[in-house]
Structure 1
Amino acid sequence: MYEENQKLKTWITPDLATEYLAGAVLLGAAPCTAMVFVWSTLTKGNPAYTVVQVASNDIIILFAFVPIVKFLLGVSNVSVPFQTLFMSVVLFVVIPLVAGIITRLLVVRKKGTEYFEQTFLHKFDSATTVGLLLTLILIFMFQGEVVLDNPLHIILIAVPLIIQTFFIFSLAFGVCRIIRLPCDIAAPAGMIGASNFFELAVAVAVALFGTSSPAALATTVGVLTEVPVMLTLVKIANKLKEKFKYE
C-alpha cells in the first residue's frame, strides 16, 4: 500500500492534488442553470418544469454557493476569501438574473406576454450556443498549453467526473421512472442534476488561483467532459422514452 501511495505521489503531488480537488469542489458546488435549457430542449423536456428547476438552482447558488464552497475548501485546508466568492456570484448570477427580470417586465409592459413568449424569446435561440462556444474558446485560450502538457492529469481528473455525471443522471432518471413521472419531466430532472454551472466554477477558480492554476485546469476538464457526456445522456434519455409510457 505504501509503495502504491508513493507511485501516486510521483504522478500528482499532494499540493497539486489539493488544487485539483479545489477545482472539483467548485464544479460540484455550482448547480446547472442556463445550459439545462439546451439539454431539456434536446430531450423535448417540459419547458415550465425546466424553468422551475433553473429558478430553484439560481436561488441555491445565491444563498448556498458561498458557504458550501467555503466549508468544503476549508475541510481541504484551502483558504479562500469571502469577497471573491461573493463577487463571482454577483457577476455571474445576480446581474444576469436582475437583467432578465427587468427585460421581461419592460417587454411585457410594452408589447404583452404573448409577444414576449412567442416572438421576443425566439430572437435569442442561437445566443446560448454562441455563448457556449465563445466561453469554450476563451477557456482553452488560457488553458490550452496546460492541457497539452498534462495529458495524464487530464485523464485522472476526467474519469471520476464522468463517473459522477453518469451516476447522478442514472439516479435521478431512475427514481423518476420508479415514481412514474413522464419522460419530459424525468429527462430534465436527470440533466440538471448531472450538469454543472461550469462558467461560474471556471471564473471562481481563475479569480482565486489564476488562469494557469491546477484548480482552473480541473474546472476546464469539467468543461471538456461535460459537453460530450451530456450529449451522450441526451441520446440515452431519448432512446429510453418508450420506458416512460405507462399503462
Structure 2
Amino acid sequence: MSETNSRIRDIWRSLSWSDRLLPVAIICSIVVGTIISKYCPGSRQAFQGVSVLNVSVPLAIGMVIMIIPPLCRLRWDVLFNISGDQRHNLLKQLCISIILNWIVCPFCMLCLAWVTLFDVKAYMNGIILIGIGRCIAMVLLWNRIAKGNESLCAIIVIMNSILQLLIYAPYKIFFCDIMGRGSTFNEHSVDIDGISGLYSTVAKTVGFFLGIPFASGIFIRGFGVLVFGRERFDSKVMTFISPCGTIGLLYTIIVIFIEKGDSFINTIGVSFRCFIPLIAYFTVTWFGTFIGLRWYLGRGSDYKFTAISCEAAPHCGCEKQLLDSSSLNGKSWKRCCSAKYQDITTQAFTAASNNFELALAVSVALYGSDSSQAVAATYGPLIEIPVLLFLTLVSQYLEKKWLWADPVVLL
C-alpha cells in the first residue's frame, strides 16, 4: 500500500501545475461561461464581429494559440538519429501505430458514439471528431510518466501530425457525414456536390487551425534550439510557452459556453451522456492495445537470450526459466520475455489519446461556437486527462506484475 501511495505521489509531482489543475480549470471555465451567458446575454455579441472561416477573429486567435505549444515540443532531431539496425523495428512499430491510430481507433469511437448517442447526432458527431484526431500533446507526458519509449513516441506524434494535415478532412466526411449520417447524407443517397463543397471547407479549416500552428511550432522550436540549445529550450523556454496552450484552451471553452449557455442548461443530461463513449473509448483502446500487443509481440521468438546462466544477466528474473526452453514452461516464459514494455506502453497511450484541440477547432469552425458539436468536443480533455493519468498507474503496476523483455533503448 505504501509503495502504491509513493508511486502516486511521484506521478503527481511529475505533472506541472497547469496539467494538475486542467480538469478543474475546464469545469470552472464551463461554469463561468454558462453564468455569463445566463446573466449577461449581451456578451454574446462581442464574438460576432470580423471572422475567418466562419470563426470570429478573437476566438480564432485563441484556437490557434492553444495548438502551438504542443507542436513546439516535437523533437524532429530523433528522425536523424536512427541507425540501420533500428529501422526494421521502427518500421514495424510505425505500421502497428498506423493500423491502430487510423483504422481501429476511429471505428471504435464511431461505434461507441453511435451506440450511446444515436438519438442526438450533433453530440455524436462532436465525439466522433475527437476520435479521428490523434494526440500530439498530452501523449508525450503520459508516455514519459509510464516509462514508455520516448523516441518512438516522438516519431509517432510527428507522423500523426503530418497525417492529420493530409487526411483529417476526408476522415471527417467519412466518419461524421457518411457513417455518422451528417448533413450530406440522407436515407437514399449521398450528395456528391455537398461532399465536395464540405471537403473544401474542412480542408481549409484543418489547414488553417493545424497548418498555422504546425509551421509556427517548427519555427519556434528550430529558432529556440538554435539560440538556447535543446536542453535549455525544453527545460526553460517551454515553461513559458506551455501555459499559453492552456490559456487558449480555457478561453475557447469560456467563449463556447457564453454562446451555448442557455441551451446547455436545458440539455445538460444529454450533454453528460457524452462522458460514456469517451470513458469507454479511453479504457477499451488502452487495455485492448496493451494486452493485444503483449500477446502479438510476445508470441514469436523475438527474445534473444545470450547469457550463459541466470547469474550472468539477471535483468528481469526469467533467465533461469528460459534455460529450460525445450519444455512447455520454458516456451511460455520465452513468449512473455519477448514483449517489450516500453514499445507496448507507447503504442497503448498513442492509441488511447486524442487531439481534442483540433476536434474543438474544427467543430467550432464548421458548426459554430454555439453548436452541440463544439460542446461535446470540450468534454475531450475533461475526461481524457484523469482517465489516462489513472492508466499511467495501471501501466506501471503491470510493468512490475508481468514479465517483459529486458529494457533496451531501441531508438
Q: Please state if 1:85 is matched with 2:202.
A: yes
Q: Please state if 1:195 is matched with 2:353.
A: yes
Q: Please state if 1:237 is matched with 2:381.
A: no
Provide the rounded CA distance (Å) in 2 between the counterparts of 1:130 and 1:101: 16
| Aligned partners of 1:44 and 1:184 also within 8 Å | yes
CA change 1:241–1:137 in 2 (3 A) is farther
Provide the rounded CA distance (Å) in 2 between the counterparts of 1:193 and 1:13: 24
> Any residues of structure 2 matched to 1:14-93 within 5 Å, and which?
14=119, 17-75=120-178, 76-79=181-184, 81-93=198-210
> Any residues of structure 2 matched to 1:92-103 within 5 Å, and which?
92-103=209-220
CA change 1:132–1:192 in 2 (3 A) is farther
Provide the rounded CA distance (Å) in 2 between the counterparts of 1:19 and 1:244: 45
| Aligned partners of 2:341 and 2:405 also within 8 Å | no
Residue 127 of structure 1: how far off its partner (Å):
3.9
Percent of aligned positions that are identical: 27
Residue 52 of structure 1: how far off its partner (Å):
0.8
SS state of the match for residue 274, structure 2?
A: helix
- With 51-60 and 92-101 compared, the bigger mean Cα shift is at 92-101
Q: Which has the higher helix share?
A: 1
SS state of the match for residue 26, structure 1?
A: helix
SS state of the match for residue 147, structure 2?
A: coil
Provide the rounded CA distance (Å) in 2 between the counterparts of 1:61 and 1:105: 21
Q: Residue 182 of structure 2 aligns to which amino acid in structure 1?
A: N
SS state of the match for residue 273, structure 2?
A: helix
Which residue of 2 is the match for residue 116 of structure 1?
Answer: 229
Q: Give the gaps of 5 or more residues in structure 1.
A: 1-11
Q: 2:249 aligns with which of 135, 140, 143?
A: 135
Q: Give the gaps of 5 or more residues in structure 2.
A: 1-116, 185-194, 298-337, 407-411
Residue 218 of structure 1: how far off its partner (Å):
1.5
- With 144-153 and 177-186 compared, the bigger mean Cα shift is at 144-153
Which residue of 1 is the match for residue 270 of structure 2?
Answer: 153
Residue 98 of structure 1: how far off its partner (Å):
2.1
Provide the rounded CA distance (Å) in 2 between the counterparts of 1:13 and 1:101: 40
CA change 1:125–1:189 in 2 (3 A) is farther
CA change 1:105–1:199 in 2 (3 A) is closer
| Aligned partners of 2:339 and 2:404 also within 8 Å | no
CA change 1:96–1:77 in 2 (3 A) is closer
CA change 1:159–1:65 in 2 (3 A) is same
CA change 1:71–1:102 in 2 (3 A) is same
| Aligned partners of 2:256 and 2:375 also within 8 Å | no
Residue 133 of structure 1: how far off its partner (Å):
5.4
Count how many residue pairs are aligned between Structure 1 and Structure 2. 230
Provide the rounded CA distance (Å) in 2 between the counterparts of 1:245 and 1:61: 33
Q: Residue 116 of structure 1 aligns to which amino acid in structure 2?
A: G
Provide the rounded CA distance (Å) in 1 between the counterparts of 2:380 and 2:292: 25
Provide the rounded CA distance (Å) in 1 between the counterparts of 2:387 and 2:235: 27
Provide the rounded CA distance (Å) in 2 between the counterparts of 1:13 and 1:41: 37
RMSD: 2.6
- With 199-208 and 124-133 compared, the bigger mean Cα shift is at 124-133
Provide the rounded CA distance (Å) in 1 between the counterparts of 2:254 and 2:396: 31
Residue 105 of structure 1: how far off its partner (Å):
4.2
CA change 1:129–1:240 in 2 (3 A) is farther
- With 24-33 and 117-126 compared, the bigger mean Cα shift is at 117-126
Q: Please state if 1:170 is matched with 2:275.
A: no
- With 80-89 and 196-205 compared, the bigger mean Cα shift is at 80-89
Residue 23 of structure 1: how far off its partner (Å):
0.8
TM-score, normalised to structure 2, is 0.51
| Aligned partners of 1:182 and 1:244 also within 8 Å | no
Larger Rg: 2
TM-score, normalised to structure 1, is 0.81
Which residue of 1 is the match for residue 38 of structure 2?
Answer: none
SS state of the match for residue 64, structure 1?
A: helix
Residue 40 of structure 1: how far off its partner (Å):
1.5
SS state of the match for residue 354, structure 2?
A: coil
Write the deviation string for residues 68-104 of structure 1: whole angstroms up to 9, x where unpaired. Answer: 1112233113247234322332233222222333344
Provide the rounded CA distance (Å) in 2 between the counterparts of 1:84 and 1:22: 16
| Aligned partners of 1:22 and 1:78 also within 8 Å | no
Provide the rounded CA distance (Å) in 1 between the counterparts of 2:161 and 2:200: 19
